[in-house]
Each structure stands twice: as structure tokens, then as C-alpha cells.
Chains A and B, each alone.
Chain A
Amino acid sequence: MSVFDGLKFRNISSPIHEIDPRAKFIYVCVLFVTAVLFNQIIPLLFLFFLQVPLVIIAKVKREWLRLIKGSIFFAVLIFVMNVISLYFYGNYSSIAYVIEHSLAMTIRFIVLIESFSLFFLTTSPDMLGLSLEQIGVPYEFCFAFTTAIRFVPVLAEEAQIIIDAQKARGLELEGGNFIRRVKNYIPILIPLIVNAIRRSLELAEAMESRAWGASKKRTNLYVLKMKRRDYLFILLSFAMLLISIYVWMYVEIPFLYQILQI
């Protein structure tokens, strides 16, 4: 299982999976805006822990944790960069502030990643395309979008076969300097791209032979319908947004290090 499985749809049934993709999307947007609004650690930690029960309800804990584990490298990078730039270039009051602020930025990054993850883990590409279509995006774009998502695992699998085939011809992928390493990937990228183009042409032919685009007005077998539960979810999301804006404007958020008196 790779890190990217944390962004791949898991076909299981849970209350979170059943929420309308549009409602979930609004929730993710709210989370996004809120995370960007605050740069103090306390509200960001709150946002981080807010998702934990949702993830548990959605039964995708394993994949979700894996993605977070996978993002640790970037998280550490963000932390270090923040510490360095604040320490050397900012005017800070204490070292505890530097650390807390950098930590907050890191948590913000993780919140963004995890909200994405929750959305993609619980929303099937088909439903996503369908909801795009129903909010008025032209069908061509929706189709391109869902196809792109659907072909990611196919391409990943093919890349592995190509890597194997070239290794069997004595290609060493590890070792060597940077240019050498990049050059090593040419025998993998060319077949991969050529095959992808070939496949897309085949797909286009197959679709045309099945009368793609024959009628202007296309109907769907499934039609997404917002239920009361979905409206409630949206309402809660907006409530969260409003509360965050209120807090952001009128409430002085203390620093953790001041509370702990370090």
C-alpha cells in the first residue's frame, strides 16, 4: 500500500460515504478557509482533531494515517523553513513563539492534507463527476476529470511493469549523480507516455463507437439528490465558518506558550 492510497476512494459503506459530494465539498472548503484564516496553534489543533471522529466514522483510519505519515517529510520541511526564516529574519519576542508559530504552520499543512484525504477517500470518482455535472460543468470536462482520476491506478501499475522490464535489461535506477538519475528515467517515461497516448486514442475510438456525444441532452442513470442530512451537514459547515470568522475578528486567541508559561 502506498502513500497515495490515502487519496484513493475506498469503496465501503459508512455515513460519511453517503453524504452528498457537494455537501462534503462545502465542508472541505470551509475547513480550508478556516485553516488559512488562523495562524495560531489552538484553533488549528482544534481543526485537526475535529476530523478524527469523522475519519473513524468513515472507517478509513488506516489509509488516512498512512497519508499523514507520508506527509511527515513535507511537514518537517515546512517546520524547519519556518523556524529558520523566523529566527533569522523575523522580529520575534521569544524562541517559544518561533517554535509555536512554526508548529502552527505545520499543523495547518496537515489539516489541509487530511481534509483532502477525507474527501477523496469517501467520494467515488463517479459521484464526483456526477456532482460536477449537476452543478452545471459541461459534460466533456466532467468526463475528462473522472477519466483522469480513474486512470491513475492503471498508469501506476503500468509504470511498475515498465520499471521491471527495463531492470531486466540491466537498468540500474539507484546510484549515480543527479543528471545520471534523471537520464535513467528516460527508458521508463517514454514507454509510459507512448502507451498512455495510445490508450487514450483507443479510448476515444471505443467511446465514439458507443455514440459518445450523439445527443446534446444527456440523462444519467443516477441522479444526486440532496437529503435533509446533507442540508444539515452544509448548515453545520456554514455555522462553523461563521463562528470561525467571529472568533477571528473579535476574540484574542492566546498563545499556547503563554498559557503554559514557558
Chain B
Amino acid sequence: MIEVEDVYFTYPNGVEALRGVSLKIAEGEFVAIMGQNGAGKTTLVKHFNGLLKPTKGRVLIDGVDTKQVSVAKLSRKVGFVFQNPDHQLFSETVEDEISFALKNFGFDNKVIGERVDWALNLLGLARYRKVSPFMLSGGERKRVALASVLAWDPKILILDEPTIGQDSYQKERLRQFIIQMNHQGKTVIIVTHDIEFVVECEPRVILMSNGKVIADGEARKVLTDPDLINKSSLILPEITQVFINLNDLGFPRDVMGVYEAKRLILERLKKT
């Protein structure tokens, strides 16, 4: 359970990144945080594992104030995968890279071995076990970074811009993977611009603009609202754009999925 209570955050250089954010994320929820560049998305999620502490207000993780515990301690519960894998990869082999965090958290060697195997298989990296992470492609490096966080099985998983630099096949795999994690009871939070990706996931969407939450609700409600989407410099999902244009013909406006769209169109075609 993540509780954010009226949080303000100002960077040392004076930029006010969060201006009164309050929200609750329950256990096992799947949340997408969206908004334009500089809206405060990354700043907000960096509060969830204590990398940033609120200037005003407070953040509670399972009832514990993030100001009271170290980042390393919180990270045991809250896994954070950074946007750019190059900011964290440093080991000689993929295997070492994945066991780094496990060693930091003090797992014993036997458990580390099992966890590394598990994470490598989960993300299809088993054949790169002994390869240097620096030799891998961008997408593979991103998966190594993800594996290195998943390995310690955090309860809450935060992914910052997970789809950047991934081809559509990898995106689809990532989506299924995220949904699988979520079904297993993990809280998953993604920060992204990729509206089509979010449409396919149908999570709860939190829309941010200028350091404030401007909308919070089901993907279908938030992402098909042209005013909200416009305010956060996003573009409506393509299917929604089509259906808004077809509104005169009696089609609903809040459609975003491909299959739903197909069904509605077929129904109409059968009637005529």
C-alpha cells in the first residue's frame, strides 16, 4: 500500500516538481502514471522508494514513512527499474549483474543461485548468462536491468518508461509479462508516454500536469477524454480518434480497444 499525502517537492535548483499530490495505490493494483515531459511523473515515483523525500507532506509505504528508512531498505519492497539501463549496468557478466542486488540484500549463496536462474529464464536471458552486459543490444540491456530488479522479488514494481527503445514484439512480451506479474499479486506502476501501450494494458491511469494530478481513474475514462489528454500533451488513442469522429453516426466516444471497436462496427454492419 502506497499512500501519498499532500506531497510537495522542490528540487535544490528551485524547480517545483510536485505541488500537492495525494493518492493511494492499494496492493496488487496496476497503475500507469502519464503526463507530458516535466509533469513530475518520475519525481513522484522516486518518492516511492525514498530516493526523494517530500519537501512537504509525507509518503507511506505499508504504513512506514519514507523519511524514517533508508533507500536500500525500502528497495527490498519497492523495486525500481530506471529508464536507461546504462545507468546501472556495470558487472562483467549478466549473471553478476543480477546477483549484485541480491548480495546487497544479504541473501545466501544458494538462494542467490536459484533467483538468478529464475530471473534469467523469466526474461529469456539464459543464454547470455556469461556474456558481458555491455555486449548486448539496447533492448536486451533493458531486460537485464529488469531481471536484476525482479530477482529479489519486490512486492511493488516500478518501471520508468519501459517501452522506450523496444520493438513491437518486445513490447507485447513486456505487456504480457507485466500482466502476469500483476496477476501474481504484485503492485505494478509504470511511468510512460506510450498511450497505445497503456490502452492495451487497461490499468488505472493517473494523469499528471505541472506537478499535480489532473485525473485518476480507469484507462477508458481518462484516456478517451479529449480535454484531459490535450492538457497533458498526449495524443488520443487512434481508435478513440476514429470513434470520436464517428460520433455523429451514433457510435460511442469512449472506445479505445481494437477488439471492442471491431465488435461495434460489425454490429452496426449487421444491422444495415
For this complex, into which size category does the number of interface residues on chain A fall? 20 to 34
Given A1-B12, A1-B13, residue A168 in contact with residue B87 (CB < 8 A): no
Nearest Cβ in chain B — how far from A39, in angstroms? 39
Inter-chain CA distance A186–B90, complex, in Å, is: 8
Inter-chain CA distance A172–B103, complex, in Å, is: 12
Scan A149-177; emit 1 where CB is below 8 A from any B CB, else 0.
Answer: 00000000010011011111111100000
Q: Does A198 interact with chain B (Cβ within 8 Å)?
A: yes
Question: Which of B49, B70, B82 interacts with A172 by CB under 8 Å?
Answer: B70
Contacts of B101 in A (CB 8 A): 169-170
Chain A residue nearest to B76 (CB atoms) is A170
Q: Which of A46-54, A189-197, A223-231 contacts B (4 or more CB under 8 A)?
A: A189-197
Chain B residue nearest to A188 (CB atoms) is B90
Contacts of B137 in A (CB 8 A): none
Q: Does A15 interact with chain B (Cβ within 8 Å)?
A: no
Q: Does B177 interact with chain A (Cβ within 8 Å)?
A: no
For this complex, into which size category does the number of interface residues on chain B fall? 20 to 34
Contacts of B105 in A (CB 8 A): 170
Interface of A, helix, strand, loop or mixed by DSSP: helix
Inter-chain CA distance A165–B149, complex, in Å, is: 10
Which residues, 92 to 106 on B, are CB-close (under 8 Å) to A?
100-101, 104-105
Given A170-B104, A171-B72, A171-B104, residue A165 in contact with residue B87 (CB < 8 A): yes
The answer on a CB contact under 8 Å between A168 and B71 is yes
Nearest Cβ in chain B — how far from A80, in angstroms? 31
Q: Does B89 interact with chain A (Cβ within 8 Å)?
A: yes
Which residues, 179 to 210 on A, are CB-close (under 8 Å) to B?
186-187, 190-191, 194-195, 198
Nearest Cβ in chain B — how far from A159, in angstroms? 10
Nearest Cβ in chain A — how far from B79, in angstroms? 8
The answer on a CB contact under 8 Å between B87 and A162 is yes
Inter-chain CA distance A191–B145, complex, in Å, is: 13
The answer on a CB contact under 8 Å between B104 and A194 is no
The answer on a CB contact under 8 Å between B82 and A161 is yes
Which residues, 215 to 236 on A, are CB-close (under 8 Å) to B?
none
Scan B33-60; emit 1 where CB is below 8 A from any A CB, else 0.
Answer: 0000000000000100101000000000
Which residues, 237 to 255 on A, are CB-close (under 8 Å) to B?
none
Inter-chain CA distance A1–B86, complex, in Å, is: 26
Contacts of A170 in B (CB 8 A): 72, 75-76, 101, 104-105, 152
Given A167-B71, A167-B75, A169-B148, residue A162 in contact with residue B104 (CB < 8 A): no
The answer on a CB contact under 8 Å between B86 and A194 is yes
Inter-chain CA distance A188–B224, complex, in Å, is: 42
Chain B residue nearest to A169 (CB atoms) is B101
Chain A residue nearest to B74 (CB atoms) is A168
Question: Which of B12, B76, B82 interacts with A165 by CB under 8 Å?
Answer: B82
Chain B residue nearest to A198 (CB atoms) is B86
Contacts of A168 in B (CB 8 A): 49, 51, 71, 75, 79-80, 82, 149
A-B contact pairs, 14 of them (CB 8 A): A161-B87, A164-B51, A165-B80, A167-B51, A167-B75, A168-B51, A168-B75, A168-B79, A169-B101, A170-B104, A187-B90, A187-B100, A190-B90, A195-B86
B residues with a Cβ closer than 8 A to A are 12-13, 46, 49, 51, 70-72, 75-76, 79-80, 82, 84, 86-90, 100-101, 104-105, 134, 148-149, 152
New A-B contacts (9) at CB < 8 Å, excluding given A167-B51, A169-B100, A169-B149: A161-B87, A162-B88, A165-B80, A165-B82, A169-B75, A169-B88, A170-B76, A187-B90, A191-B86
A residues with a Cβ closer than 8 A to B are 1, 158, 161-162, 164-172, 186-187, 190-191, 194-195, 198
